[in-house]
Structure 1
Amino acid sequence: MVVLALVCVALALIPLGSILFTVIVRGSSVINVDFFTQIQPTPCSPTPGVVCPQGGIANAIIGTFLLLGLSSAIGIPLGLLAGIYLAEYGRGPLVFAVRFFADVMTGLPSIVMGLFIFAAFQLLFPGFVFSAIAGSLALAVIVVPFVARTSEESLRLVPGSIREAALALGVPKYRVTLRVVLSSAREGIVTGALLAMARIGGETAPLIMTALGNSFVSTRLDQPIQAMPLVIFNFATSPYANWNALAWGTALLLVLIMLGLSIAARLLLRRRFRERRIGA
Structure 2
Amino acid sequence: MLVDSHCHLDFPDFQSRLPEVLSAAAAAGVGRMVTISTHVARYETYRSLAEAHTSVFCTVGTHPHNAALEPDVPAERIVDLSRHPRCVAIGEAGLDYHYDKSPRDVQQRVFRTHIEAAREAGLPLVVHARNADEDMIRILSDEMGRGRFDAVLHCFSSGEKLAQVGVELGLYVSFSGILTFRNSEEIRRIAASVPHHRLLVETDAPYLAPVPHRGKTNEPAFVAHTARVLAEVIGASPEAVAELTTANFYRLFSKAAAADAENGRALAS
**TM-score interval, normalised by the smaller of the two chains:** under 0.3
Higher helix share: 1
Q: TM-score, normalised by structure 2?
A: 0.25
Bigger relative contact order, structure 1 or 2, given CA contacts below 8 A and separation 6+?
Answer: 1
Higher strand share: 2
Structure with higher Rg: it is 1
